[in-house]
Amino acid sequence: MERRCIYCGQLKPKSGLIRVARLSNGEFEVDLDLSKRGRGAYICKTMECLAGIKKKRSLDRSFRTNVGTDIYSELEASLTEYPKPPAMLGGME
């Protein structure tokens, strides 16, 4: 099943995106295994999309509330866990 990145609008398989979930208690959490219940917003696994959602406050718009700054730190930390594609490593073309 495909989902759309809230920043760039690209359709990708769920496995190619990171999900931010709004839980039933109103808290926000990065949902790396895509299993948490609640409303979700999907973001590409790129620093460009992360920077874009921070600048345009896309998560705030998607959830219609202020998500706070902690979630962006969590997203950045989770992005560093993913290996970079070969084209970004340099020397490989």
Which ranges constitute the DSSP H helices of 24-63?
47-56, 58-63
Query: What's the pLDDT score for residue 82?
Result: 60
Query: What's the pLDDT score for residue 39?
Result: 93
Distance of CA 7 to the CA centre of its chain: 9
Partners of 20 in the beta sheet? 30, 41
The per-residue pLDDT string of the chain (93 residues; one tens digit each, 9 = 90 and over) reads: 899 999 999 999 998 899 999 999 999 999 988 889 989 999 999 999 999 999 999 999 999 999 988 999 999 988 876 655 544 445 444
Domains of the chain: 2-86 (3.30.1230.10)
Query: What's the pLDDT score for residue 35?
Result: 87
Residue carrying structure tokens 């620093």: 47
Query: What's the pLDDT score for residue 18?
Result: 93
